[in-house]
Protein backbone atom coordinates (compact mmCIF):
# COMPACT_ATOMS: atom_id res chain seq x y z
CA UNK A 1 0.00 0.00 0.00
CA UNK A 2 1.30 3.42 -0.88
CA UNK A 3 1.34 6.24 1.71
CA UNK A 4 0.52 9.84 0.72
CA UNK A 5 2.22 11.37 3.70
CA UNK A 6 1.35 11.69 7.36
CA UNK A 7 -2.25 10.94 8.32
CA UNK A 8 -4.38 14.05 8.71
CA UNK A 9 -5.07 15.49 12.12
CA UNK A 10 -8.69 14.57 13.02
CA UNK A 11 -9.29 18.05 14.53
CA UNK A 12 -8.11 19.82 11.35
CA UNK A 13 -10.21 17.48 9.25
CA UNK A 14 -13.31 18.29 11.34
CA UNK A 15 -12.64 22.05 11.07
CA UNK A 16 -12.20 21.79 7.30
CA UNK A 17 -15.49 19.92 6.96
CA UNK A 18 -17.31 22.46 9.12
CA UNK A 19 -15.86 25.37 7.17
CA UNK A 20 -16.83 23.73 3.88
CA UNK A 21 -20.37 23.16 5.13
CA UNK A 22 -20.67 26.77 6.27
CA UNK A 23 -19.53 27.94 2.84
CA UNK A 24 -22.25 25.85 1.24
CA UNK A 25 -24.89 27.58 3.40
CA UNK A 26 -23.52 31.13 3.06
CA UNK A 27 -25.42 32.06 -0.13
CA UNK A 28 -28.74 30.98 1.41
CA UNK A 29 -28.09 33.08 4.51
CA UNK A 30 -27.11 36.08 2.40
CA UNK A 31 -30.28 35.79 0.32
CA UNK A 32 -32.47 35.64 3.43
CA UNK A 33 -30.73 38.70 4.88
CA UNK A 34 -30.93 40.63 1.62
CA UNK A 35 -34.44 42.00 2.33
CA UNK A 36 -34.48 45.77 2.39
CA UNK A 37 -34.34 47.59 5.70
CA UNK A 38 -36.03 50.61 4.04
CA UNK A 39 -39.77 51.23 4.17
CA UNK A 40 -42.06 53.69 2.40
CA UNK A 41 -44.78 54.75 4.87
CA UNK A 42 -46.03 57.56 2.62
CA UNK A 43 -46.04 57.87 -1.18
CA UNK A 44 -48.13 59.66 -3.78
CA UNK A 45 -48.34 60.62 -7.41
CA UNK A 46 -49.15 64.33 -7.56
CA UNK A 47 -49.11 67.43 -9.74
CA UNK A 48 -46.65 69.36 -7.52
CA UNK A 49 -44.51 69.18 -4.41
CA UNK A 50 -44.66 72.28 -2.25
CA UNK A 51 -42.90 72.72 1.10
CA UNK A 52 -41.74 69.09 0.84
CA UNK A 53 -45.36 67.87 0.72
CA UNK A 54 -47.32 66.38 -2.22
CA UNK A 55 -50.14 68.50 -3.66
CA UNK A 56 -52.73 67.46 -6.22
CA UNK A 57 -52.49 63.78 -5.31
CA UNK A 58 -54.66 61.46 -7.37
CA UNK A 59 -54.90 57.98 -8.85
CA UNK A 60 -56.00 59.16 -12.28
CA UNK A 61 -54.92 62.25 -14.23
CA UNK A 62 -56.05 63.93 -17.43
CA UNK A 63 -53.99 63.43 -20.59
CA UNK A 64 -53.10 67.13 -20.52
CA UNK A 65 -51.52 66.94 -17.04
CA UNK A 66 -48.06 67.80 -18.43
CA UNK A 67 -45.85 66.78 -15.51
CA UNK A 68 -46.34 64.39 -12.60
CA UNK A 69 -44.31 63.93 -9.45
CA UNK A 70 -43.66 60.76 -7.46
CA UNK A 71 -43.29 61.73 -3.80
CA UNK A 72 -41.93 59.19 -1.31
CA UNK A 73 -41.13 59.28 2.38
CA UNK A 74 -38.43 56.69 3.09
CA UNK A 75 -37.66 55.38 6.57
CA UNK A 76 -35.08 52.99 7.97
CA UNK A 77 -31.80 54.29 6.55
CA UNK A 78 -29.07 54.01 9.18
CA UNK A 79 -26.54 55.66 6.87
CA UNK A 80 -26.71 57.62 3.59
CA UNK A 81 -28.01 55.48 0.73
CA UNK A 82 -30.15 55.85 -2.37
CA UNK A 83 -33.49 54.82 -3.76
CA UNK A 84 -34.42 54.73 -7.42
CA UNK A 85 -37.74 55.82 -8.91
CA UNK A 86 -38.47 53.72 -11.99
CA UNK A 87 -41.38 55.10 -14.07
CA UNK A 88 -43.35 52.67 -16.25
CA UNK A 89 -45.93 53.38 -18.95
CA UNK A 90 -47.72 50.05 -19.14
CA UNK A 91 -44.89 47.51 -18.84
CA UNK A 92 -42.28 49.71 -20.54
CA UNK A 93 -39.70 51.53 -18.43
CA UNK A 94 -39.66 55.19 -19.54
CA UNK A 95 -37.63 56.95 -16.82
CA UNK A 96 -35.20 56.04 -14.04
CA UNK A 97 -33.71 58.40 -11.47
CA UNK A 98 -31.48 57.76 -8.44
CA UNK A 99 -32.34 59.81 -5.35
CA UNK A 100 -30.14 60.30 -2.27
CA UNK A 101 -31.44 59.30 1.15
CA UNK A 102 -29.57 61.10 3.90
CA UNK A 103 -31.20 59.92 7.10
CA UNK A 104 -33.65 57.62 8.87
CA UNK A 105 -36.74 59.63 7.80
CA UNK A 106 -36.30 61.26 4.40
CA UNK A 107 -38.69 62.79 1.86
CA UNK A 108 -37.72 62.79 -1.78
CA UNK A 109 -39.39 63.03 -5.17
CA UNK A 110 -38.87 62.77 -8.90
CA UNK A 111 -40.92 63.98 -11.84
CA UNK A 112 -41.77 62.87 -15.35
CA UNK A 113 -43.11 64.97 -18.21
CA UNK A 114 -46.12 63.08 -19.56
CA UNK A 115 -46.76 63.40 -23.32
CA UNK A 116 -50.52 63.87 -23.99
CA UNK A 117 -50.69 60.69 -26.10
CA UNK A 118 -49.14 58.46 -23.39
CA UNK A 119 -52.45 57.49 -21.84
CA UNK A 120 -53.30 54.34 -19.95
CA UNK A 121 -51.86 52.48 -16.99
CA UNK A 122 -48.69 53.72 -15.31
CA UNK A 123 -46.75 52.85 -12.16
CA UNK A 124 -43.62 53.94 -10.36
CA UNK A 125 -41.48 51.34 -8.59
CA UNK A 126 -39.37 52.53 -5.68
CA UNK A 127 -36.19 50.43 -5.47
CA UNK A 128 -33.60 50.31 -2.72
CA UNK A 129 -29.85 50.56 -3.46
CA UNK A 130 -29.77 46.81 -4.19
CA UNK A 131 -32.53 47.08 -6.82
CA UNK A 132 -35.25 45.48 -4.68
CA UNK A 133 -38.73 46.99 -5.22
CA UNK A 134 -39.81 48.30 -1.82
CA UNK A 135 -42.96 50.10 -3.00
CA UNK A 136 -45.01 50.46 -6.17
CA UNK A 137 -47.52 53.22 -6.96
CA UNK A 138 -50.08 52.58 -9.75
CA UNK A 139 -51.96 55.39 -11.51
CA UNK A 140 -53.62 56.14 -14.84
CA UNK A 141 -53.33 58.94 -17.35
CA UNK A 142 -56.10 59.82 -19.76
CA UNK A 143 -59.16 59.49 -17.58
CA UNK A 144 -60.89 62.04 -15.45
CA UNK A 145 -58.79 63.19 -12.53
CA UNK A 146 -59.59 61.10 -9.45
CA UNK A 147 -58.33 62.77 -6.31
CA UNK A 148 -56.80 60.98 -3.36
CA UNK A 149 -57.15 62.18 0.20
CA UNK A 150 -54.29 64.48 1.25
CA UNK A 151 -51.06 62.73 2.20
CA UNK A 152 -50.47 62.14 5.89
CA UNK A 153 -48.25 64.71 7.55
CA UNK A 154 -45.06 63.33 9.09
In tens, the pLDDT along 127-151 reads 999 999 999 999 999 976 555 544 4
* 41, 73 Cβ separation under 8 angstroms: yes
What is the pTM assigned to this prediction?
Answer: 0.71
pLDDT of residue 9: 52
Most confident of 8-17, 68-77, 144-153: 68-77
**pLDDT of 42 above 60:** yes
pLDDT, tens only, 90-124: 999 999 999 999 999 999 999 999 999 999 999 99
**HEC string for the chain:** CCCCCCCCCHHHHHHHHHHHHHHHHHHHHHHHCCCCCCEEEEEEEECEEECCEEECCEEEECCCCCEEEEEEEEECCCCCEEEEEEEEECCEEEEEEEEEECCCEEEEEEEEECCCCCCEEEEEEEECCCCCEEEEEEEEECCCCEECCCCCCC
Domains of the chain: 39-147 (2.60.40.1930)
* pLDDT > 70 in the chain, percent: 69
Q: 75-99 pLDDT, tens per residue? A: 999 999 999 999 999 999 999 999 9
Is the pLDDT at 4 greater than 80? The verdict is no
Amino acid sequence: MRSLGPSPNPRLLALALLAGGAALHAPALAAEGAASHLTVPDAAICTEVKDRQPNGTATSFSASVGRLYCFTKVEGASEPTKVTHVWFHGDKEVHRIDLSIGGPGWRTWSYKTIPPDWTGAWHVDVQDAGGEVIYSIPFTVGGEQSEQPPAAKP
